[in-house]
Amino acid sequence: MNPASDVLVVGAGVVGSAIAYFATLEGLSVTVLERGLPASGTSSACEGNILVSDKEPGPELELTKYSLGVWKQDLAEHADLWEFEGKGGIIVASRESSLASLNRLTAAQRSYGVDARELSTHQLRDLEPNISPGALGAAYYPEDSQVQPMLAAAQLLRMARANGARFFPNTKVAGFLNDGGKVTGVRTSAGNFAAGAVANATGTWAADLAALAGANVPVKPRRGFVMVTEPLPPMIHHKVYAAEYVDNVGSSDAGLQSSPVVEGTPAGSILIGSSRERVGFDGTVSVPALRAMAENATELFPFLNKVKILRHYHGFRPYCPDHLPVIGHDERAPGLWHASGHEGAGIGLSVGTGKLMAQALAGKEPDLSLAPFAPHRFGGFQSGSTTIQEACA
Amino acid sequence: MSSSQHYDVAIIGAGPAGLAAAATAAERGARVVCIDANDQPGGQFWRHRPEDTHPEDDGSLHHDWKTYLRLRAGFDAAAAVGSLCFYPGRQVWMAQREDNGFTLRTTASAQAGRAAPGPQTVRATQLVVCAGGYDRQLPVPGWDLPGVMAAGGIQAFIKANGMLPGKRFVVAGTGPFLLPVAANIAEAGGAVAAVCESADLTGWFPHLATAARVPAKALEGTEYAKSFLKHRIPYRTRTVVTEVLGSDRVQAVRTAKVDSHGRTVQGSERLIEDVDAVGFGWGFTAQMELPVALGAETRVDDDGSLVGVVDSQQHSSVPGLYLAGEVSGVGGAALAVVEGVIAGRAAAASTAAQSSAAESSAADVRLARKAGTYRAFARAMHLAHPVPAGWQDWLRPETTVCRCEEVTAGDIAAAKEHLCATDARTMKSMTRTGMGWCQGKVCGFAVSCLAGTEGASAESLRSVAKRPVSVPVTLSELLTLEDEQVLETTTDH
Amino acid sequence: MSHKINATFNDRPLTAEDGTTVGAALMTNGVTSWRNTRKEGRPRGLFCGIGVCFDCLVDVDGEPNQRACMVRLTEGMRINGAEPDTAEEEA
Ligand SMILES: Cc1cc2nc3c(=O)[nH]c(=O)nc-3n(C[C@H](O)[C@H](O)[C@H](O)COP(=O)(O)OP(=O)(O)OC[C@H]3O[C@@H](n4cnc5c(N)ncnc54)[C@H](O)[C@@H]3O)c2cc1C
Ligand SMILES: Cc1cc2nc3c(=O)[nH]c(=O)nc-3n(C[C@H](O)[C@H](O)[C@H](O)COP(=O)(O)OP(=O)(O)OC[C@H]3O[C@@H](n4cnc5c(N)ncnc54)[C@H](O)[C@@H]3O)c2cc1C
Ligand code: FES
């Protein structure tokens, strides 16, 4: 048996790393288990935006605002480690109808305390000189920010380790230990690990892990492609996307949805998204997705026509049917905690999630209520403890 | 329904393997398409002056030119009767599997000058990838100075342009290939200050003729030996270049001896001055992104390179996908030709209704025996020319490893130590190695070694070869992409 | 034999034998680098020589980022790149 710890974090993506770091700040002893290397899951197959702009008023927006505060205040001194950039976001409307819904969105967001400013086409062109002449109007969100997500995950983990957390890479959790219906640790390829609490931070694979404890956490993969261009001098200065994007994010349709999301990066390459489709863990290149993304991006920024892509990649967003993450203690399987299902916002939400989880794990009242994210909202109380025994048999 | 063209057999590459495969498949009745990034056939080995300005290449810079002329005659004859369609100057940037074959997406190799026309989408029932390879590189302080080139790059420069990219050269690295490079430099009128071979070759060089069981190759070896004597080229074994010096271009190199464990010997350093060109080659890296994208099984060969797994028919683990030449194991042009013939026959046979079984089985045995002999020779060469174990000793923290993104050895060591970046994929995430223009083609091997604990792991090499876009392509070209007809799916994780 | 091709590099005349690549034409005219790296401003020219490394990128007839080793020099071609001496000296 490996040494026991207060908290066992499963998964060293950005969410697991953030939990580990904040848990050490709470004085908890922490062990992190990861089947691969840090950020080898979705946290290295995404973009690093921290967006308030794409959120409708509701619990996710609350969590976003909280998390943004953690990035900007709690972690201010470390900002350079993950290339934090408060670049600002711009939503562009190219149709009268989308302009109207954009204006409705910004009004609602403003009433929630989001800094959302309507831009005239003139002002838009000042901020983004290369934008398409077809743009009818836009909204500007100065709070929208960006980090390099792989560095965020790996550096948060390094900071956790510096505070005493132990890290076991290449260690896959294959089952749970339990005692009288309570989760007391995990079984892995590297032996058993005992812990006061086990935090499931396995992102898109959270349902599999939860199932080992008999708990239903219906996280599913939602595939997205990103295209990366050749390095260019700065041509796009903010995170720029089209008003339809907000609808696509909120859609539960399994088919392909694509709307332009374009941004420059410090390295000079431009990242072009986005596509969303639920096709399981299918890693096959999709020509319709690439073509749709190219169409959308060149419509927004016509100069991109002649620009070359050097590569594309895809990831699987941890999607929950109600588009809310799963955060907190699982009453169906006592001792098991969850922090997953952040879908397309897990980077932005990670540090807020981590801090709130750490507070709750330390027995404190979290700064923000975790009730809307409760794992047992999916039901399935009854099967709890017996299934745990079966899983461990 | 679809405007793209459908062929029986598509061949990527018109080097030794591709030429042989194309000529063979066409001769056996298949409708063949061949696509090559270069403006004319020949590949790396038989690269030659442009045929429109220099129609009568005498082959003086080439070995086995007669074989080339013979393959080329077959290739041209097939093209003349329309059974072979050749698209030069175009690159396949993506290959996909479909329910009844393969879809290839092509783009012009250059957008300026004579941008080559050709179809954007090509479909074929069988695919033979003969994409060859390129010089494997190890970083060394100063290797990013102008004047430093890949050894093969110098060779290609001479063969394609009939002139030299410098006046006084040092050729360094390991492998028999350093010999023809140095010999060609000398024949073209350049001075070779030294050939630095890291391996200890007492045992076979200059006794290549007896060491090698392959007559043609042996002959080649003795020719180089003659050329070295004639041009007084110093050939230094167990010697490596540990630094290239110069301010804005190469001026000198520092060499050192390596011991029998491949570690540099303290105090053995020597300066070679007045050098304006350096060629490095540490064997070859096969161009694996298309086979990897198609899901072909791979293995790490005796030389440490990632190559495709094939059966005796050059058939990969993917139905209908054949690999020939360097992509199924680095082994020289003669082996590439034999493999190309085998793959061309097999690909044509599996599309054709009829095949003359009796005749082909005798030929099969002959070809297999020939390939076996060449492979044994290649294996001997690989084992005699390992990458020296101590190569990392000559790196300094500020030495550039990834040339595109300018990532240094120090950046890599820090990410390994602090961020657990112990494979090439994680190293890329943390430091940007391999994220630039070349997508890790140049630094991939070195980064895999530096990230790992015991050299380059198969996993690292495979992740480095994952390049879904094998050459950059414009967004406007994506706009007109025709849909694939993919039924197969591959599952990640 | 083949004739001479006249082109320009940064508006200065550049002459080379017909059939050479842009990269070879630059080299034989004494230009060994024509691109400065993004981060450190280091000079770059030909490296792999066969279209693999993208070190040799240059603007040809207004088309940016062409591989000099892959493009054949043609009459009147306008080649633009970094002047070798604009690269930062090594510290
Ligand atoms: C194309 C795309 C673009 C995106 N853009 C953004 C964006 O701009 N902003 C944003 O905020 N979000 C974005 N996202 C979403 C974001 O990437 C995810 O929400 C986030 O990475 C999830 O982090 P995680 O730590 O929960 O999961 P992961 O990073 O996937 O980490 C889970 C880890 O658990 C490990 N694991 C799984 N099972 C086991 C096991 N049994 N034992 C041990 N370890 C295990 C995995 O190996 C993995 O490392 C995007 C996603 C995609 C696909
Ligand atoms: C620069 C260089 C110079 C060399 N010179 C010598 C030498 O002088 N003597 C010697 O013994 N050996 C030499 N070699 C090794 C020799 O080239 C190989 O042993 C032999 O050529 C292998 O043949 P092949 O057909 O597998 O590949 P290659 O000859 O490399 O042919 C591959 C062909 O495929 C094309 N291709 C690759 N990818 C694509 C794509 N995606 N789309 C379209 N076309 C593509 C390439 O343009 C190339 O023409 C050299 C190698 C290199 C890299
Ligand atoms: S020299 Fe490498 S691409 Fe041209």
| pLDDT over 70 (residue C66) | yes
- ipTM greater than cut 0.85: yes
Four-CA torsion A367, A371, A374, A380, nearest 10 degrees = 150
Q: Report angle CA A139, A141, A143 to the nearest 5 degrees.
A: 175
Which residues is C62 bridged to in the sheet? none
- Domain for residue C38, yes or no? yes
pLDDT of residue B53: 87
Q: Which of residues 151-170 of B touch A (CB under 8 A)?
A: none
Which residues is B309 bridged to in the sheet? none
Q: Whose CA is nearest to atom 3 of ligand 3?
A: C51
pTM, to two decimals: 0.94
Which residues, at least 6 apart from A73, have a Cβ–Cβ distance to it below 8 Å?
Answer: none
Cβ pair B450, A266 in contact under 8 A: no
CA distance A353 to A358: 8
Element (H, E) at C23: helix C22-28
Percent of chain A with pLDDT over 70: 97
pLDDT of residue B2: 44
Does B156 sit within 8 Å of C49, measured CB to CB?
A: yes
pLDDT of residue A386: 41
Q: Which long-range contacts (CB under 8 A, 24 or more apart) does A334-337 make?
A: A334/A181, A334/A182, A334/A183, A335/A178, A335/A182, A335/A183, A335/A184, A335/A196, A335/A197, A335/A198, A336/A176, A336/A183, A336/A197, A336/A198, A336/A200, A336/A210, A336/A213, A336/A215, A337/A197, A337/A198, A337/A199, A337/A200, A337/A361
Residue of B16, B14, B25, B104 lying closest to B62 (CA atoms): B16
Which residues, at least 6 apart from B433, have a Cβ–Cβ distance to it below 8 Å?
Answer: B401, B402, B405, B407, B412, B424, B427, B440, B443, B447
CATH of the domain at C67: 3.10.20.440
Instruction: Please classify residue A130 by burial: count the beta carbons closer than 10 Å to its beta carbon, then call 0-12 exposed, 13-18 middle and 19+ buried.
Output: middle
Q: Tell me the pLDDT tens digit for each residue of A127-179.
A: 999 999 999 999 999 999 999 999 999 999 999 999 999 999 999 999 999 99
Q: At residue B163, what is the residue type?
A: M
- Domain for residue C91, yes or no? no
Kindly state the DSSP code that residue C72 receives in the 8-state scheme.
Answer: B
Which residues is C36 bridged to in the sheet? C43
pLDDT of residue A381: 54
Domains of chain A, by residue range, sit at 2-46+150-218+322-392, 89-142+221-319
CA distance A373 to A376: 9
| pLDDT over 50 (residue A382) | no
Is the distance from the beta carbon of residue B12 to the nearest atom of ligand 2 less than 6 Å? yes
Cβ pair B101, B294 in contact under 8 A: no
User: Nearest chain B Cα to A162, which residue?
Assistant: B418
Which residues, at least 6 apart from B458, have a Cβ–Cβ distance to it below 8 Å?
Answer: B298, B299, B300, B306
Contacts of A231 in chain C (CB under 8 A): 38
How many C-beta atoms surround the C-beta of residue A310 within 10 A? 22
pLDDT of residue B25: 97
Shortest alpha-carbon distance between residue C81 and chain B (Å) = 14
Structure tokens at B477: 């070209």
Give the distance (Å) from ligand 2 centre to CA of residue B133: 6
CA distance B142 to B166: 17
Is the distance from the beta carbon of residue A375 to the nearest atom of ligand 1 less than 6 Å? no
Residue of C42, C7, C41 lying closest to C23 (CA atoms): C7
Give the distance (Å) from ligand 3 centre to CA of residue B78: 32
**Residue-level pLDDT, tens digit, chain B, 493 residues:** 345 679 999 999 999 999 999 999 999 999 999 999 999 999 999 999 889 888 877 777 787 899 999 999 999 999 999 999 999 999 999 999 988 899 999 999 998 887 788 999 999 999 999 999 999 999 999 999 999 999 999 999 999 999 999 999 999 999 989 999 999 999 999 999 999 999 987 655 544 543 444 545 545 666 777 778 788 899 999 999 999 999 999 999 999 999 988 899 999 999 999 999 999 999 999 999 999 999 999 999 999 999 999 999 999 999 999 999 999 999 999 999 999 999 999 999 988 755 555 456 788 899 999 999 999 889 988 988 999 999 999 999 999 999 999 999 999 999 999 999 999 999 999 999 999 999 999 999 999 999 998 889 999 999 999 999 999 999 999 999 988 765 444 455 4
For residues A161-196, b (16+ Cβ closer than 10 Å) or e, as one string? bebebbbbbbbebebbbbeeeebbbbbbeeeebbbb
Report residue A250's pLDDT band, with 50, 70 and 90 as the boundaries.
confident
CATH fold of A89-142+221-319 reads: D-Amino Acid Oxidase; Chain A, domain 2 (3.30.9)
Q: Which ligand 3 atom sits nearest the alpha carbon of residue C47? A: 1
The tally of domains found in chain C comes to 1
Please tell me if residue B96 touches chain A, with a CB cutoff of 8 Å. yes
pLDDT of residue B219: 53
Q: Tell me the pLDDT tens digit for each residue of A177-232.
A: 999 889 999 999 899 999 999 999 999 999 999 999 999 999 999 999 999 999 99
Give the domain extent around C66: 4-84
pLDDT of residue B221: 64
Does A308 sit within 8 Å of C65, measured CB to CB?
A: yes
Cβ pair B19, B134 in contact under 8 A: no
CA distance B282 to B197: 9
| pLDDT over 60 (residue A389) | no
CA distance B189 to B102: 47
pLDDT of residue A1: 72
Give the distance (Å) from ligand 1 centre to CA of residue B87: 43
Q: Report angle CA B465, B469, B471 to the nearest 5 degrees.
A: 95
CA distances from A54 to A74, A144, A255, A261, A344 (A): 24, 10, 20, 11, 10
Please tell me the number of Cα atoms within 13 Å of B262 on its side-chain side. 12
Cis peptide bond upstream of B206, omega within 30: yes
Q: Which chains form contacts with chain A, at 3 or more CB pairs under 8 Å?
A: B, C
Nearest to B110 among C43, C66, C85 (CB): C66
Q: Which residue has the higher pLDDT, C3 or B78?
A: B78
Q: Provide the CATH number for the domain formed by A2-46+150-218+322-392 in this structure.
A: 3.50.50.60
Which ligand neighbours the alpha carbon of B134 most closely?
A: 2
Nearest to A267 among B422, B432, B481 (CB): B432
Nearest to C52 among B111, B155, B438 (CB): B438
Q: Which ligand 1 atom sits nearest the alpha carbon of residue A343? A: 19
Residue of A273, A350, A342 lying closest to A313 (CA atoms): A273
**Domains identified in chain B and CATH numbers:** 4-134+285-354 (3.50.50.60), 137-282 (3.50.50.60), 395-456 (1.10.10.1100)
